[in-house]
A and B are shown apart, each in its own frame.
Chain A
Amino acid sequence: MLRNFLTVAVRNLRRNGGTTAINIFGLAVSLAVVLLVLLFVREQWRIDRFHSASDRIHRVTTLRMNDGAHFATAPTPLPTALRESAPGIDAATAVDQYGDTFVVRGDTSLGVEAMKVDASFWQVFDGFQLRAGSRERLLAQPHTAVVTLEMARRLFGTDNPVGRTFLHEGETEYTVTGVLAPPDGPTHVGGDVFLSLTDASSAGGDADAWGDVYSQWTYVRLAEGTSASDLEATAGILFERGAQPEDASDYQLSVQSLATLRFGPRLWNEIAGRLTLSGWTFWFIGGLAAVLLIAAGFNYVSLSVAQSLRRAREVGVRKTLGAQQSQLVGQFLGEAIVTALSASVVATMLLGGFVPLFNNLYLLDLLEIPPLDLNLLLDPAVIGLIALTGVVVGLLAGAYPAFVLSSYRPAQTLRAQGDSSRGGGSQRLRSALIAVQVAVTLFLVVTATTMLRQTWHMATADHQLRTDRVASVALQDVPYDTFRDAVDDLPSVQDVAAINNLMLGPSSYDTRYLRSSLVETPIKTVSFAVDTSFVAHMGLTLRASVSNWDRAYVQGDGVLLNQAAVEKLGFDSPSAALGAEITEDRSETSGVGRTVVGVVDNFEYTGTGEVYGGGLADPEGPMMLYANARHYKYALVRAGSDDLAVLRGDLKDAWTERFDTLHPFEFRYYDDIVRMRYGPLQDVAYLTGGVGLLTILIAALGLLSLATYQVQTRTKEIGVRKALGASVTDVVVHLSWPFAVLLVGTALVTTPIAWVVNHGWLQWMPDAVDVEGGIVVLCVGAVVGVCLVTIGMQTVRAARLDPATTLRDE
């Protein structure tokens, strides 16, 4: 029986070659995207699965009560306290992400990513395997370290690394006691170097230490039978007992399982960029893939139902020969599954093209998501997943046609050949499916276009801040003056300025509270430490200033305000603020005096945080610039020519020769920093647009085969019409008209919705473009146009046929 199903399935699919190709290709395109998402989700799902009973691993987190901010960190003494006094816990560890740093051995200095962990780390995350060294009391001694195999090679070559030493940041000596094998899966607590964190255990129960909830992460391996809420209760009691009363009421501890860590919301203080598939990302890309899959599934349903006229006779014959409905359902489902499985094979090949595109996404870089590895496709689990997806999709797409087709009554279907009334009922269904496809396509295309316009706007907007030909160099321990004096005269350098946090970038900004005698309450003000040359070199407009403002600014307590700050602090005009004494709060009771020496125009400096939510700064809000050489963290260097590579080379030489042989040279083009503002949106636009294009493709393919099919079944009618005197145009219009009405109707309904939705999200953007009527109309016109041309091609061809041929055919 199965063989018979398959034979018929394959022959049927082959006989309707065009339709089959369209079905397979459409499904393959969408399946490829679905597989991509599944692979991505699977990689995310595998994070830290390689530890034993990984569902027992939890993280204690901290809720700040006054603003609801949820931090991934927990009070510093908590792991020790849990270990010492909490029941039901197998292990608890303190983790301190040290982040990017460097280690030195002999005269090599290597940039590494470091973690500081205590000895319990290896019990909580027990899936990490050692290549050398002993797990026993690993990292229990101060100044010991575990390094990855790769790092061991780079530091010590082929020598046995255990017992050898390196200098962390060129200062502190660490002895290697273990070498880590490459882990069996992705992890969110990885690094190149694990340094012993021994001071935490000694911190014990000091109340002030309990108040430090931002520094360290606490991971716990629960004993069997202990629940997350048990741990939450215990941790809460320990915290209340240990902390100062006001801290205990300011914060509340909560517990997160690894599962919510993988897909849950991103918390503040997240340990690394690796845990990144926040619910939103997941839903977004999953949603896009689902839309595509549904569009392709619709094609399958719509084409199968269209063919039902012809298949109806087959059903009738089979039923008279003794087939039960269930057997026929099996047969049609079988066909759908064969189609979907063939599509999976094509999809796997397409995936080879999609994965590199996906890996190119800037977002992955920004969030430190490792790229997808195409070798994954060789993994039996992945192959199984692909096959399973094919079967599931086949079942879903085939269910409706299978049910409809198999329910035909034999007496009806055999009675009359070519009785087209049967197509009538499903006509409405097919129209609805097309309408939904076209609507989704329109929506995606309009949205992607709007996003791209916003991206371009943000990429090219005149930020007032002149960042062209500018690069930033992290000063690290080099005093700014030294750096400037050394590079100022280089021929490739035009200007140099200093700042503490990069404007338009991903950093969060400092805020201060300012008071003036003119207003009651202190004014929350974003502040930047910049040197005097910053104003001119970065193109700020000095609206008003005292004479020789730069001297007062650098030497004394002089500050520059923007116009918003001037207004908020109660001054009538920029010049009225000049020379005014204001106070910068340092605590509830004390402050330092400041003098306003100049006023600059408001300008855009907000960064990634402000664009994507979570940022606090408002470009139209008050801002203060002050001088403090000790605060400067970056030198901003403008190149004398457009060739920034020369600048980079010169600065790097200067850096290694003159200042610092320890710290790695950190150089970034300002364009790359600004890109963080619009790059993610650009990715979202590319994804949406890409999926939009694919849905147009799928919808057009579906229309093509529907039109083809319709024309085929109506050749006789066309012949008769022409024999009776209809012109080619008459026939084309007659055949295309219902499609045209459907398409235009769909466009009329969808366009306003797309408009409103896009207008809506743009409101969240700082410095937003507006939805442009002309462009929306253009998008809609393009989509409808593509569809009409598709239909037209078929109808024109049919209308051209010589009526004699079509009529003779019977």
Chain B
Amino acid sequence: MIQTENLKKVYRTDEVETLALNGVHVEIDAGEFVSVMGPSGCGKSTLLNVLGLLDTPSEGRYAFDGQEVGDHSERQRAKLRKGNIGFVFQSFNLIDELTVYENVELPPLYLDIPSAERDERVEAALDRVQIAHRRDHFPQQLSGGQQQRVAVARAVVANPKLILADEPTGNLDSTNGAQVMELLSDLNEAGTTIVMVTHSPADAEYSARTIHLFDGKVVSENFIEQEYAAHPGA
């Protein structure tokens, strides 16, 4: 599903150049659940943005679903993104002016799905995250956990092949966090590929594999078993 080779991302500001990604190789197969961990500022979000086609790498190759996308235009990337990739953010990023229902309705709207089917899908997604009873509320009227569940519903409503989650539990308490993680692993079991950035080893346990980043580089790829071996009882 995802293959990158020597991905680099350079941010240039007036004074400094930051090498946020410094030659990243990753390979993620369809159906995998992968965590990305590493210290703050090591380039996790940058990697996720590049993988999610929200940002372009400065250098390197990236093939998404077998398709080379490194030199895609903004338009092409937007097209590819649509319906294929869903996002969940630490800060939810719901649109304040829209109700729960309308927020979740956006991806199918942009996909021009006819309204009857759209309605069905939105209802199903809302049911899945158990938030259907709040469908007419605005985001500010919900708790953080509820908001993140709406965000998950919105990420899955278009049945994407890939869900990218950037610290989805970062703003949640442990109960709400666990709920969201359950949702994600259910989705994975149903076949969706998931890449999740997290600082929490507990959350990382939901995934089958963890990629460790340090200073823009992959330093190790540990399968859950190895992780257990290194830190028994963690």
A417→B91 contact, CB < 8 A: yes
Picked from A8, A414, A415, the residue with its CB within 8 Å of the CB of B97 is A8
Known: A7-B98, A317-B94, A320-B52. 13 other contacts (CB 8 A): A8-B97, A11-B97, A15-B96, A313-B93, A314-B95, A318-B110, A320-B54, A323-B110, A324-B75, A324-B78, A409-B74, A411-B55, A415-B49
Chain A contact surface mostly = helix
Size class of B's contact patch?
Answer: 20 to 34
A322→B81 contact, CB < 8 A: yes
A12 lies within 8 A of chain B by Cβ: yes
A318 partner residues in chain B, CB cutoff 8 A = 95, 106, 110
A321 lies within 8 A of chain B by Cβ: yes
Q: Which residues of A contact B (CB under 8 A)?
A: 1, 4, 7-8, 11-12, 15, 313-314, 316-325, 327, 409-411, 414-415, 417
Q: Can you list 11 A-B pairs with a CB-CB distance of less than 8 A? A: A4-B102, A7-B102, A314-B97, A316-B93, A318-B95, A318-B106, A321-B110, A321-B154, A324-B75, A411-B49, A414-B54
B106→A319 contact, CB < 8 A: no
The 3 closest A-B CB pairs, nearest first, are A322-B82, A411-B55, A322-B110
Closest Cβ–Cβ distance, residue B162 to chain A (whole Å): 12
The answer for the CA separation of A313 and B78 in the assembled complex, in Å, is 17
Are A414 and B89 also in contact (CB < 8 A) when A321-B154, A322-B111 are?
yes
A411 partner residues in chain B, CB cutoff 8 A = 49, 54-55
B72-98 Cβ-contact flags toward A at 8 Å (1 or 0): 001100110111000101010111111
The answer for the CA separation of A1 and B114 in the assembled complex, in Å, is 11
A8→B81 contact, CB < 8 A: no
A415→B98 contact, CB < 8 A: no
B97→A325 contact, CB < 8 A: no
Closest Cβ–Cβ distance, residue B151 to chain A (whole Å): 10
Are A321 and B54 also in contact (CB < 8 A) when A7-B102, A414-B89, A414-B93 are?
no
B148 lies within 8 A of chain A by Cβ: no
* Max chain A C-beta neighbours (<10 A), residue from B55, B75, B94, B97: B97
The answer for the CA separation of A323 and B109 in the assembled complex, in Å, is 9
Picked from B89, B96, B109, the residue with its CB within 8 Å of the CB of A1 is B109
B107 lies within 8 A of chain A by Cβ: yes
The answer for the CA separation of A321 and B156 in the assembled complex, in Å, is 11
Closest Cβ–Cβ distance, residue A120 to chain B (whole Å): 64
A414 partner residues in chain B, CB cutoff 8 A = 54, 89, 93
B97→A322 contact, CB < 8 A: no
The answer for the CA separation of A410 and B56 in the assembled complex, in Å, is 11
A319→B98 contact, CB < 8 A: no
B109 partner residues in chain A, CB cutoff 8 A = 1, 4
The answer for the CA separation of A8 and B94 in the assembled complex, in Å, is 13
B45 lies within 8 A of chain A by Cβ: yes
Nearest residue, chain B, Cβ from A1: B109
* Max chain B C-beta neighbours (<10 A), residue from A313, A321, A409, A410: A321
Closest Cβ–Cβ distance, residue B12 to chain A (whole Å): 13
Are A321 and B106 also in contact (CB < 8 A) when A313-B93, A411-B54 are?
yes
A415→B78 contact, CB < 8 A: no
A323 partner residues in chain B, CB cutoff 8 A = 78, 106, 110
B94 partner residues in chain A, CB cutoff 8 A = 317
Closest Cβ–Cβ distance, residue B231 to chain A (whole Å): 31
A409→B55 contact, CB < 8 A: yes
B98 partner residues in chain A, CB cutoff 8 A = 7-8, 11
